[in-house]
Each structure stands twice: as structure tokens, then as C-alpha cells.
Amino acid sequence: MKKLAILIFGVIFTLAGCQEDKGYYLSGTIDGVEDGKKVFISERDESTRSLKPVDTAIIKDGKFEIDMKDQEQPGLSFLGFEGINGNVVFIAENQKISFDIDKDSIRNTRISGGKENQALTEYLNHLKELNRKMVNMQKEMRQAAMAKDTAKLNTLREAQGELRDNDKTFKKELFSRNKDSYVGVMLLTDMLNMRTHSSSEVREMYAQLSDRLKETALAKSLKETLDNSLAAEVGSKAPEFTGPTPDGEKLSLSENLGKVTIVDFWAAWCKPCRIENPNLVRTYNKYKDQGLNIISVSLDRPGQKDRWIQAIEDDNLEQWSHISHLKFWDEPIAKKYRVSSIPATFILDEEGVIVAKNLRGDALENKIGELLK
């Protein structure tokens, strides 16, 4: 009986030891760094989008190790090194995580240990390869444009579209394997921010995340963004706004609706916006007598009211209404409409319901014509 008790105690002790091994523990090797240099462990503060230090390790004989406090939830973390530029990105999880670091090329760090970091490595490698291909393709497109090789340019554009489609497919497939992984939340956040997927697609996938992940700060932030995006989706009532005109008066959306209204987000500094403006002028001149109205919302910088007014004059935009708080990307109306890039257009019917958005050139003109028939 005594031997049995000792055996049971030994098994319990072994299991307890195994449980400890599963804790949040970091170790790594980094050659060519003198003893005593510090390794900084930081976390991303989702509220401020900045890094906050949480602990420090010391390098000795080209190695470091540190036993961290167990994580209630996984989260994005970073390793920084005293005297070395750059950070190593990893996911804090209750596993042994090891790093093989090249001090001359931090980005080439190899991370092992933990399913979260395996998924992160797969995703980061995909993004790195995608970026390499895109950069090379853009270089070839510039060369083809300079050589006026239209055939090659069209071929490269098709290849670029195929590359984007493959990226979209890869992200969806990776998400399907990581619905209970922090990388799953990262994927959805990137899909939404980079506009590779629609907000409705991301919302549908968000519902598939595990309850555990929905409690992370990143997932809560994503949920808030998704909820806000509903306000500016096709079929929704356009968010009401009021803003100052160049003359300093107040202009509201509800008091300036036409049979069809275009809410156009642009800026004097935005080259694509300035290129699109002649198309907007042409469309307005064609349909203004049939009830088309335009309200242009500028994202010009603080203190640059003169540039905004000059651009209105230069591009012949004086015919319709203009407003701006001159707050650059902090423009409150742009935030209401979840505008993250410009030009951006929202087409409203006479009731102020969004019926289409982000149409340009002939597509915009054709849509306005269709709505005003």
C-alpha cells in the first residue's frame, strides 16, 4: 500500500512538472552580442497602438532565457535587443518558445514552439513572399509603361490580379485552420483594413471565432470596427454630418440631399483624387439639372485651408458644396464613413440611403444615369 502511495505521488509530481513546462517561457540564441546586453519583451497596447515593455532578459554566452507570467489570453508581443534595430514579432502563449536570432537580419529570426507561433510564421512568410512578388511586378510594370509595351502591361496587370486573388484565397484557407488561434483574429483584422475582403465577409468569419478569442483586445477592437462599418454599407442610411464650408458656415447632409447625392471624400494633396476630379465634374454637369447633388469632404491638413480652396478652384469644383474640418485623417466625417483611403465616394438616394460606393469614371457616371432615369 505504501509503495502504491509513493507511486501515485510520483505520477502527480511528474504531471505537475509537465504542467509547468507548458508555461510561458522564452529562450533564444543570438551570436555576436556581448554579455550583459538586454533583451526587451514588449506587448502591443491595443488602445494606444504602441508598445509597452513588460519584462527584460539578459544575454549571456550568446543566449537568453526568461520565465514569463502565464497568459490568460494570447496576444501579439515583441522582442527588442539593446543596440540592435528592429523587433521580432511573436505571439505570447503558454508554451516554451525559442528564437534563433540573426543580429544582422532580425527579420530572418526563426521561431519554434507553440501552435500560435507556427501559424504566425506561416502567415508572415506568405506576406513576405507576396510583397516580394508585388514589388518585382510593379517594377516590371513601370518598365513596360516606359517602353509603351501595352501587351506586356496588360499581361502583368492580369498576373497582379491573379496574385491578389491567390492572396485572398490563402487568407481564407489559413483562417479556416485557425479559428481558435490569435492569428485568426489578425487575419480578419488585416482582411478588413487592407480591403482584401468585404466587411460582410469578415463579419461572417468573425462569427466563427472561438469564444476564447472573442475576449481578446484585438477581437473586441475588430468587433467595434465591424459594428461601425454597418453604418456606411450599401443599404444603410448614410450617417448624418455637419461641417464647415470654406466660408466658415455650417452645412449638413440632411439639408442638402438631391434626388441623388454623391458624398465625395478627397484632398488637395491626393493625386488620385485630383486625377478623378474631371470625371466628377463631367458627371455633375451631365446630371445636375436632373437632381444630382455633390458634397465634397476634404481631408486636407490643419493650417492648409488655402491649398484646399485653391484646389477647388483649379479643378473647377466650385459648382457644388464643400466642407472640411481640416484634420487630415482625423476628419470626423471620414471616420463616420470609415474612410481609410481616398478618393472614396458614397452614392445616396433621395432618402439618404447608400445605394453604391467607391465608383469612379464611367462606372460612376453610368450609375448616376441609371438612378436618375
Cell of 275: 486625377
Q: SS3 sequence, the chain?
A: CHHHHHHHHHHHHHHHHHHHHCCCEEEEEECCCCCCCEEEEEEEECCCCEEEEEEEEECECCEEEEECCCCCCCEEEEEEECCEEEEEEEEECCCEEEEEECCCCHHHCEEECCHHHHHHHHHHHHHHHHHHHHHHHHHHHHHHHHCCCHHHHHHHHHHHHHHHHHHHHHHHHHHHCCCCCHHHHHHHHHHHHCCCCCHHHHHHHHCCCCHHHHCCHHHHHHHHHHHHHHHHCCCCECCCCEEECCCCCEEECHHHCCCEEEEEEECCCCHHHHHHHHHHHHHHHHHHHHCEEEEEEECCCCCCHHHHHHHHHHCCCCCCEEECCCCHHHCHHHHHCCCCCCCEEEEEECCCEEEEECCCHHHHHHHHHHHCC
Q: Taking 70 as the threshold, does the pLDDT of residue 362 lie above it?
A: yes
SS3 183: helix
Q: Taking 90 as the threshold, does the pLDDT of residue 221 lie above it?
A: no
Q: Taking 50 as the threshold, does the pLDDT of residue 7 lie above it?
A: no
Higher pLDDT, 7 or 76: 76
Q: Taking 50 as the threshold, does the pLDDT of residue 3 lie above it?
A: no
Nearest to 277 by CA among 294, 253, 252, 260: 294
For the chain, the domains span 20-112, 117-232, 242-371
Q: Give the pTM.
A: 0.64
Q: Report the pLDDT value the prediction gives residue 16, as an integer from 0 to 100.
A: 38
Q: Report the pLDDT value the prediction gives residue 46, as an integer from 0 to 100.
A: 65
Q: Report the pLDDT value the prediction gives residue 120, as an integer from 0 to 100.
A: 95
Q: Taking 90 as the threshold, does the pLDDT of residue 310 lie above it?
A: yes
Q: Report the pLDDT value the prediction gives residue 48, as an integer from 0 to 100.
A: 67
The second-level CATH assignment, the architecture, of 242-371 is 3-Layer(aba) Sandwich (3.40)
148 Rama sector, left if φ>0, alpha if ψ -120 to 50, beta otherwise? left
Q: pLDDT confidence of 256, banded at 50, 70, 90?
A: very high
Q: How many beta carbons lie within 10 A of that of residue 157, not counting itself?
A: 13
In angstroms, the Cα distances linking 299 to 74, 120, 345, 366 are: 37, 35, 13, 27
Q: Report the pLDDT value the prediction gives residue 234, as an integer from 0 to 100.
A: 87
The pLDDT tens digits of the residues spanning 11-63 come to 333 333 344 445 899 999 999 899 999 999 999 876 666 788 999 999 999 99
Higher pLDDT, 373 or 62: 62
Arithmetic mean of pLDDT, 141-152: 91
CB of 243 within 8 A of CB of 323? yes
CB of 99 within 8 A of CB of 109? yes
CB of 94 within 8 A of CB of 71? yes
Please give the mean pLDDT across all residues of the chain: 89
The pLDDT tens digits of the residues spanning 335-347 come to 889 888 899 999 9
Q: Which CATH number fits domain 20-112: 3.90.1150.10, 3.90.700.10, 1.10.3720.10, 2.60.40.10?
A: 2.60.40.10
- Name the CA dihedral angle for 236, 241, 246, 250, rounded to a multiple of 10 degrees: 140
